[in-house]
Structure 1
Amino acid sequence: MTASITRPGGDPAVTVRRATARDARRLTRLVRGSRAYEGPYAAMVASYRVGPDYIEAHRVFVAADDADDRVLGFYSLLLAPPELDLMFVANDAQGLGIGRLLVAHMRGEARAAGLAEVRVVAHPPAEGFYRSVGAVRTGTVPARPPAVAWDRPELVFPVLPAV
């Protein structure tokens, strides 16, 4: 499954593709440099690593600029149990529709895998975004110090229509 955003002239600008081991360093830099994790959240991503082994073991997809293959964002979908494990958009690409593109792609992948829903335990500042693209809040995941020092919203993306 591919997805893209097009420029006004109709040329593709961004394409979502499967991540490769070559993307690992770029994904790690994107996570560690995320402005969403500044201040009290910084410790959570300071040593985070998206390695080639993670990319090989999971369904990781990147949104890349068609002109230069620059990674603008990425997500990781776990199938069992169904969960959006990671989702990041580059600081300078926020507000351009990259996050919406990634969520639409993730839902398509989940649908193709036969999933009815996908859980996401969100970074607190990201809850509003997830809700704006169709996720429904289902609860709160308590803090687990020292790894995570704050409570996090738990949401679900409905994928398959109810029968």
Structure 2
Amino acid sequence: MRSGITSRARRALGEDIGIRRAGVRDTKRLTRLVRASRAYEGPYAPMVAGYRVGHDYVETHRVFAAVGETTDRLLGFYSLILDPPEIDLMFVADDVQGAGIGRLLIGHLRDEARGAGLSEVRIVSHPPAEGFYTGVGARRAGTVRAAPPAVMWDRPELVLPVG
């Protein structure tokens, strides 16, 4: 598998990183990662305050977790919906952002999407994450308007080529 993890990050983490399919046993950790994300502080906090990644979610969606290979520490995850093709969730633990975990997850996502016969994947991005997605090759496709009370702000819509 292609690795975007820097050698500096690998040393800091003290282990190699792998990506595996998330399962029911991961749901509490996935939920904690979502709710603890600093990207959702302040005005964005209500969006994740009661959010839960449940057993049914990981059983019915393609959810993949980046984990430390010796500790099984959850470093990040994504969820890919195939029909229509879209990234539903993507989170990286705050303390490892900038270490290449997100890029590693995007590389894995591209491989999964390509293997499923997709040519591109839609992303409705959290506004502060738009720069990350454009940095990995996504292009702006539009704006998804706020939908109160669930989402109180407009969000960038992007398309990520997978080929």
**Alignment-derived partner of residue 90 in structure 2:** 87
**Alignment-derived partner of residue 116 in structure 1:** 119
Q: Distance in 1 between matches of 2:161 and 2:111?
A: 11
**Alignment-derived partner of residue 139 in structure 2:** 136
Shift of 1:67: 2.0
Q: Distance in 2 between matches of 1:138 and 1:115?
A: 17
**Alignment-derived partner of residue 151 in structure 2:** 148
Shift of 1:45: 0.1
Q: Distance in 2 between matches of 1:70 and 1:142?
A: 36
Indicate the structure whose relative CO is greater, using CA pairs within 8 Å and at least 6 residues apart: 2
Q: Does 1:64 align with 2:67?
A: yes
Q: Distance in 2 between matches of 1:156 and 1:130?
A: 9
The answer as to whether partners of 1:3 and 1:16 remain within 8 angstroms in 2 is no
Shift of 1:12: 5.9
**Alignment-derived partner of residue 162 in structure 2:** 159
TM superposition score normalised by structure 1: 0.92
**Alignment-derived partner of residue 44 in structure 2:** 41
**Alignment-derived partner of residue 52 in structure 1:** 55
Q: Does 1:97 align with 2:103?
A: no
Q: Distance in 1 between matches of 2:111 and 2:15?
A: 19
For residue 26 of structure 2, what is the amino acid of its counterpart?
D
Q: Does 1:17 align with 2:58?
A: no
**Root mean square deviation, CA, Å:** 1.5
Gaps of 5+ in 1: none
- 1:47-98 deviations in Å (ceiling 9; x for gaps): 0000111000000000001121010000000000000000000011111100
* Structure with the bigger percentage of helix: 2
Stretches of 4+ moved more than 3 A in 1? 2-8
Q: Percent identity?
A: 68
Q: Distance in 2 between matches of 1:52 and 1:15?
A: 22
Q: Distance in 2 between matches of 1:12 and 1:70?
A: 10
